[in-house]
């Protein structure tokens, strides 16, 4: 008498795929994330270093043990005002796109304007007329590293294929 659990073959196939590709894909996403964050830190504007130091990435939750991607983000509360929304289109080089004119509180501008030797009230008025420049540092870094991403992905594919072939050679004559 034998019992077959519904979906057991699919489950077994996913386990093999995770063992085959999981580590290599995780390494690919880690290398690519480090590359993007490093380049974004070079592009991001610097005042105190808080913005550049807050740029990082994290792995997205796995699906059946297989890595699905990464998310690049900033822990700085004002990064969104410098970078702009991720789903919008902006100029990727100078002249930068600008935000809508708005009036930020003077307390938020005080430190920056003091360092530049400017009156914070006049800075607020200028932002109220022109807005602030948007520098999409993550988007620029992703665009600049397109060729590197393709190269990393092809290397990852070669590693997965080599591991698969090595596993195929060793599994002949064994029963599962």
Q: Are residues 156 and 77 in the same domain?
A: yes
CA–CA dist 39, 136 (Å, integer)? 12
In a shared domain, residues 151 and 103:
no
**What letter would DSSP give residue 66?**
B
Cis peptide before 95 (omega within 30 of 0): yes
Q: Residues 141, 62: one domain?
A: yes
Give the closest residue to 80 by CA, choosing from 60, 99, 105.
Answer: 99
C-alpha dist (Å) from residue 73 to 77, 79, 94, 95, 130: 11, 9, 23, 24, 27
Quickly state the pLDDT bin for 20 (edges 50, 70, 90): confident
Pick from 21-25, 41-45, 115-119, 154-158: least confident: 21-25
- Cβ atoms of 72 and 40 within 8 Å: the answer is yes
Does some domain include residue 41?
yes
Question: What range does the domain containing 119 cover?
Answer: 97-134
Note the pLDDT tens digit of each residue in 25-84. 899 999 999 999 999 999 988 887 688 889 999 998 877 777 888 999 999 888 877 887
- Cβ–Cβ under 8 Å, residues 81 and 108: no
**Does residue 77 form part of some domain?**
yes
Among residues 81, 55, 85, the alpha carbon closest in space to that of 70 is found at: 55
Are 65 and 107 members of one domain? no
């Amino acid at each position: 008498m034998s019992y077959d659990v519904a979906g057991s073959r699919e489950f077994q196939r996913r386990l093999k795929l995770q063992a085959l590709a999981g580590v290599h894909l995780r390494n690919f996403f880690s290398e690519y994330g480090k590359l993007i964050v490093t380049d974004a830190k070079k592009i991001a504007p610097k005042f105190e270093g808080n913005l550049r130091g807050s740029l990082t990435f994290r792995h997205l939750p796995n699906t059946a043990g297989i890595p699905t991607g990464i998310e690049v983000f900033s822990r700085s509360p004002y990064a969104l005002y410098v970078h702009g929304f991720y789903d919008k289109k902006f100029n990727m080089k100078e002249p930068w796109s600008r935000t809508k004119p708005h009036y930020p509180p003077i307390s938020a501008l005080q430190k920056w304007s003091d360092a530049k030797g400017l009156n914070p009230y006049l800075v607020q008025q200028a932002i109220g007329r022109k807005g602030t420049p948007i520098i999409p540092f993550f988007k620029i870094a992703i665009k600049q590293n397109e060729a590197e991403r393709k190269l990393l992905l092809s290397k990852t594919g070669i590693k997965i294929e080599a591991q698969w072939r090595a596993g195929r050679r060793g599994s002949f004559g064994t029963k599962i």
